[in-house]
């Protein structure tokens, strides 16, 4: 893994306006992603974990330009080695970037057209990106199917003829056919059985090495993210609350929310027990987030200051690379 950042997200905001009445008067914003900054290093897997509705998928969709952010910047390292804002590219660079950043969705069935055979899923984007010969497109698609351990004969079949795991392999192969640098994996194994999850994750790890890929791996299951990621960012209600190397998060997490998530991860050892931290209450509405620290209504260690002042995400003193947004934690000045 290189130390060079392939992607930088700076102060990203994605607000969705909420309207009311006949005249659609705006009454507020759902702040799905609120001033998020992070960097993804070339060759690493950065895991994003958090409960449903925390904004992780919305951020992923902004990175692949399926959503236009309300504010902030998303910069990707272009062919000239410079970081460029992906929403300010000219038409030609914008078209080229589409190949470089691919996405794998949670539901592989929804990402494939049920009325068309599997080859079509490869054929259309390859044609669009200038592979003019059908033989060549077929050869690329066959090669990619073999890479994900599926027979090229399956290219003639239709999506309903495959299992969930096979469909997800096809979606991964389809993304790889574009020769991407970054793949945003949005809950890629959440819809699969546990045994199939392991196969897909091992496949993705192998492909990462073979194709020198960088992953942004989004999931709600911390044990899955832990297995896949070099570093983990924990999101809560549109904000990153903790970010560190995976082992550091697992062994020495500091944020009370991360501790609660960690306590829910089962220990794969017979008879092993650990104390579960149960979070009370639901995740508050992003339309009207709590004042100060957004986690304070559910935090057992809440103090006076937590209700008034929002904690910043800062590096913990003496723990390089470990960032936490909590008033309990001492930060590097
Ligand atoms: Fe809990 Fe306060 Fe830390 Fe928020 S800032 S997580 S409320 S201790």
pLDDT tens digit sequence for 110-122:
889 999 999 999 9
207, pLDDT greater than 70: yes
Angle, nearest 10°, between helix axes 118-128 and 164-176? 20
2, pLDDT greater than 70: no
284, pLDDT greater than 90: no
Mutate to test the pocket of ligand 1, among 259, 294, 311 (most ligand atoms within 8 A of CB): 311
**Letter string b/e over residues 41-79, b meaning 16 or more CB atoms within 10 A of that residue's CB:** bbbbbbbbbbeebbbbbbbbbbbbbebebbebbbbbbee
Tokens of 13: 């905001």
What is the position in ligand 1's atom list of the atom closest to the CA of 293? 4
123 — pLDDT class (breaks 50, 70, 90):
very high
Tell how far the Cα of 148 is from the centroid of ligand 1, in angstroms. Answer: 44
**Are 37 and 235 within 8 A, CB to CB?**
no
Ligand 1 pocket, Cβ-based, cut-off 6 angstroms: 255-256, 293, 295-296, 299, 301-303, 306, 311, 326-328
List of residues 6+ apart from 323 with CB closer than 8 A: 240, 242, 243, 244, 313, 314, 315, 316
Percent with pLDDT over 90 in the chain = 79
The predicted model scores a pTM of 0.92
CA-based max dimension of the chain:
68
What is the position in ligand 1's atom list of the atom closest to the CA of 307? 7
Of 159, 95, 98, 155, give the one whose Cα is nearest residue 122. Answer: 155
pLDDT digits (tens, 9 = 90+) for 136-174: 999 999 999 999 999 999 999 999 999 999 999 999 999
Residue nearest atom 7 of ligand 1, based on CA coordinates: 296
β-partners of residue 29 are: 17
271 — pLDDT class (breaks 50, 70, 90):
low
Could you give the strand order of the β-sheet that contains 231-236, starting from the edge strand earlier in sequence? 101-104, 182-186, 214-219, 45-49, 231-236, 239-245, 323-324, 314-315
Q: Say whether 18 sits in a helix, a strand or coil.
A: strand
Rounded CA separation 184/100 (Å): 11
Tell me what pLDDT residue 332 has: 63
Q: How many CB atoms lie within 10 A of CB 253?
A: 21
Tell how far the Cα of 237 is from the centroid of ligand 1, in angstroms. Answer: 14
Tokens 């984007």 correspond to 125
Rounded CA separation 70/14 (Å): 5
pLDDT greater at residue 270 or residue 312: 312
Residues 179-189, mean pLDDT to the nearest whole number = 95
What is the position in ligand 1's atom list of the atom closest to the CA of 302? 7
Rounded CA separation 111/184 (Å): 14
Residues 229-252, mean pLDDT to the nearest whole number = 96
Tell how far the Cα of 293 is from the centroid of ligand 1, in angstroms. Answer: 6
What is the position in ligand 1's atom list of the atom closest to the CA of 300? 1
185, pLDDT greater than 90: yes
Rounded CA separation 103/168 (Å): 12
Q: How many CB atoms lie within 10 A of CB 118?
A: 26
194, pLDDT greater than 80: yes
Tell me what pLDDT residue 247 has: 95
Q: What is the CA radius of gyration of the chain?
A: 21
Tell me what pLDDT residue 333 has: 62
């Amino acid at each position: 893994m290189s130390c060079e950042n392939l992607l930088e997200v700076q102060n990203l905001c994605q607000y969705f306006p909420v309207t009311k009445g006949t005249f659609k008067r705006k009454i507020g914003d759902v702040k799905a992603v609120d001033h998020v900054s992070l960097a993804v290093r070339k060759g690493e897997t950065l895991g994003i974990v958090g409960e449903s509705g925390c904004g992780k998928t919305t951020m992923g969709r902004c990175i692949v330009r399926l959503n236009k952010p309300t504010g902030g910047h998303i910069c990707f390292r272009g062919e000239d080695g410079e970081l460029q804002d992906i929403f300010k590219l000219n038409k030609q660079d914008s078209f080229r970037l589409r190949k470089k950043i691919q996405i794998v969705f949670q539901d592989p069935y929804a990402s494939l057209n049920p009325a068309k055979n599997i080859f079509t899923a490869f054929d259309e984007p390859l044609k669009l990106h200038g592979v003019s010969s059908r033989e060549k497109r077929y050869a690329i698609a066959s090669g990619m199917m073999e890479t994900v351990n599926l027979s090229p004969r399956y290219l003639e079949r239709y999506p309903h003829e495959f299992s969930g795991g096979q469909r997800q392999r096809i979606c991964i192969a389809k993304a790889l056919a574009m020769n991407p640098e970054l793949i945003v994996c949005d809950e890629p194994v959440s819809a699969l059985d546990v045994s199939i999850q392991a196969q897909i994750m091992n496949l993705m790890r192998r492909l990462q090495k073979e194709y020198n890929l960088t992953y942004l791996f989004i999931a709600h299951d911390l044990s899955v993210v832990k297995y896949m990621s070099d570093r983990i960012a924990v999101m809560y209600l549109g904000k990153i609350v903790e970010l560190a190397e995976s082992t550091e998060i697992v062994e020495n997490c500091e944020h009370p929310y991360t501790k609660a998530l960690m306590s829910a991860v089962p220990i794969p050892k017979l008879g092993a027990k650990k104390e579960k931290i149960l979070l009370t209450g639901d995740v508050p509405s992003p339309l009207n987030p709590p004042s100060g620290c957004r986690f304070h209504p559910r935090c057992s260690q809440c103090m006076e200051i937590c209700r008034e002042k929002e904690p910043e995400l800062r590096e913990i003193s003496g723990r390089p690379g470990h960032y936490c947004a909590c008033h309990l934690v001492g930060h590097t000045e």
